[in-house]
Chain A
Amino acid sequence: MARAVTNQRKAINTAAAWAVGLLIFFPILWTILTSFKTEATAIADPPVFLAFDWTLENYSAVMERSNYARFLWNSIIIAGGSTILGIIVAVPAAWSMAFVPSKRTKDILLWMLSTKMLPAVGVLYPIYLIFIKLGILDSRIGLVIVIMLINLPIIVWMLYTYFKEIPVDILEAGRMDGASLKDEIIYILTPMAVPGIASTLLLNFILAWNEAFWTLNLTAAKAAPLTAFIASYSSPEGLFYAKLSAASTMAIAPILILGWFSQKQLVSGLTFGAVK
């Protein structure tokens, strides 16, 4: 008996999966919808789903109220800077571990992973103090460094996993033809490694964008990114659901879109290659 899936069974699966999917997605959908309502419609009982006068006034209110652009810019600098810096530091390390492994490679990799497990709150005050002493509290450069360091283990691991899959024979052949280490990296390795580096970049940008311990504790007015911008809505004045929704939508939209592209890398990246 062939296991032909009947259309009926497929229809049931489809209905169930869509129902669950929409339920899980609903808070995001509701936020996006609410961002286009007036404040009065936003709290209407019974709630209004689609039949309301769509307005963009919340978006302009949010932009005016709080200098949204600066928070956005901080987020981009912090997430982008920490990711790029992390890649620059991690590529050579991952390369050497993948292609010139030694007895200690595994230990080093596991040790790097272990630094990721250090609970941030355990070292909050020392970092705080160091930041004050160095004068980088509430500065973008300070956060770029910290976020780079907390994501560095993941970046090294992801790159290592990708580099491992590049066949060594190609490098050997290059060496036989007299390619130097530099040539190897520029002409052989880089073209093959670009996709892996791109995925690593993407996932770590997302992680850095959403980081909400150090960004909340080490910033105030100057360097605060979107995580802190949203947190400022936790003590609101007056009606604010629609504005909160507009601010939230602006903060998550870019990452939702990037995130959908990174689904595949998410699994191996976040499980350190343990699930592929």
Chain B
Amino acid sequence: MATQHSRSAARFMMAPAVVLLLGWMLVPLLMTLYFSFKTYLPLRGGDLGWTGFDNYVRFVSSSAFWPSIQATLIIVGGALIITVGFGVLLGILLNQPMWGQGVVRILVIAPFFVMPTVSALVWKNMFMDPTNGLLAHLWRFFGADPVVWLSDASLFSIILIVSWQWLPFATLILLTAIQSLDGEQLEASEMDGAPVLKRFWYIVLPHLSRAITIVILIETIFLLSIFAEILVTTGGAFGTRTLTYLIFQRVLESQNVGLGSAGGVYAIILANIVAIFLMRIVGKNLDA
């Protein structure tokens, strides 16, 4: 039984973390809200007064807005499909008996530990460069014209880079989930003569549904805010300007803080919609 004494001690011990996070959440959030209702141009006159919802309207009606939403959805959606799809397959493959399983696991997980600026630059230069990139060498070897990846297939290239970074995460989590699958059930169905595809569809996939949901939610939250991968590859050009990058440009490059802040509020709302679903799942798990 917790005593009154230990309860107040507990509250005292929790205080630093709670106060810090509360400050971290509230202060910038309130400032962003405040700026979003202002015309605020630090380099061109500073605070020029209140404008109501003007920034919100202008942010959405700017010609860059819908393309940025589209780019964001394509990148997030594309990376999710690739990482979850291949993650399931890889998880199943890695769960099979084999020689050197530990080493293969390490090889597969490695990209997750590569910092975003490194993976983006390595892909950009050493693989996707149209003259000296390895893919260009490969294309020429087969007599084809090298693809100018980051301008002609820009979204696909970004998706490829991001998927490479996140595939290990999806694989690792799905592999963990697969390992908890009841082997006897699978064996029984195998002996009953259920074909591989049916076993996958009716037993493996339902078992993985929760893990897949979690992978999708967590990845979405991170993918919505990818930044370095775009900064060092295309700098937002060739249709790769995501919502995050658009806001970054408004705030730091064109120094229109009011407009950027309104965009920031949109981004926060968008992230929260995803977050609510994730929190539900995590919350349920806390009760168990």
Q: Which chain B residues lie closer than 8 Å to A34 at the CB level?
A: 126
Size category of the B interface is 35 or more
CA distance A275 to B252 in the complex (A): 38
Pick out which of these stretches binds chain A: B54-62, B88-96, B151-159, B198-206. B88-96
A100 touches B275 (CB 8 A): no
Q: Quick one: which of A115, A119, A234 contacts B121, CB cutoff 8 A?
A: A234
A27 touches B111 (CB 8 A): yes
Q: Which of A117-137 contact B (CB under 8 A)?
A: 117-130
B144 within 8 A of A: no
Q: Which of A1-52 contact B (CB under 8 A)?
A: 1, 3, 5, 9-10, 13-14, 16-18, 20-22, 24-25, 27-28, 30-31, 34, 43, 45-47
Closest to A242 in B: B126
B195 within 8 A of A: no
- Shortest Cβ distance from A150 into chain B, in angstroms? 8
B227 touches A16 (CB 8 A): no
Q: Quick one: which of A5, A93, A109 contacts B97, CB cutoff 8 A?
A: A5
With A14-B98, A118-B268 as contacts: A181 and B9 at CB distance below 8 Å? yes
With A118-B29, A119-B271, A212-B228 as contacts: A14 and B17 at CB distance below 8 Å? no
Q: Which of A210-246 contact B (CB under 8 A)?
A: 210, 212-213, 216-217, 226-228, 230-231, 233-234, 236, 240-241, 244-245
Closest to B89 in A: A20
Closest to A3 in B: B187
B228 touches A216 (CB 8 A): yes
B247 touches A121 (CB 8 A): yes
Size category of the A interface is 35 or more
Q: Which of A90-116 contact B (CB under 8 A)?
A: 90, 92-93, 95-97, 99-100, 102, 106, 108-116
CA distance A106 to B2 in the complex (A): 17
A256 within 8 A of B: yes
A162 within 8 A of B: no
B31 within 8 A of A: yes
B21 touches A149 (CB 8 A): yes
Q: Quick one: which of B32, B98, B110, B116 contacts A28, CB cutoff 8 A?
A: B110
Q: Which chain B residues lie closer than 8 Å to A92 at the CB level?
A: 13-14, 16-17
- Shortest Cβ distance from A81 into chain B, in angstroms? 15
With A27-B123, A115-B21 as contacts: A45 and B137 at CB distance below 8 Å? yes
B271 touches A118 (CB 8 A): yes
- Shortest Cβ distance from B250 into chain A, in angstroms? 9
Q: Which chain B residues lie closer than 8 Å to A108 at the CB level?
A: 14, 18
CA distance A27 to B16 in the complex (A): 43
Closest to B268 in A: A122
Residue from A43, A100, A126, A210 whose CB has the most chain B CB atoms within 10 Å: A126
Q: Quick one: which of A18, A125, A212 contacts B117, CB cutoff 8 A?
A: A212
Can you report 6 A-B residue pairs in the complex whose CB atoms are below 8 A from each other? Answer: A92-B17, A118-B25, A123-B29, A228-B117, A230-B121, A248-B118
A5-B97, A271-B218 given; 5 more Cβ-contact pairs under 8 Å: A121-B227, A122-B265, A124-B264, A125-B35, A259-B112
What is the interface of chain A, defined by CB distance below 8 A to chain B? 1, 3, 5, 9-10, 13-14, 16-18, 20-22, 24-25, 27-28, 30-31, 34, 43, 45-47, 89-90, 92-93, 95-97, 99-100, 102, 106, 108-130, 149, 152-153, 156, 181, 206, 209-210, 212-213, 216-217, 226-228, 230-231, 233-234, 236, 240-241, 244-245, 248, 251-252, 255-256, 258-260, 263, 266-267, 270-276
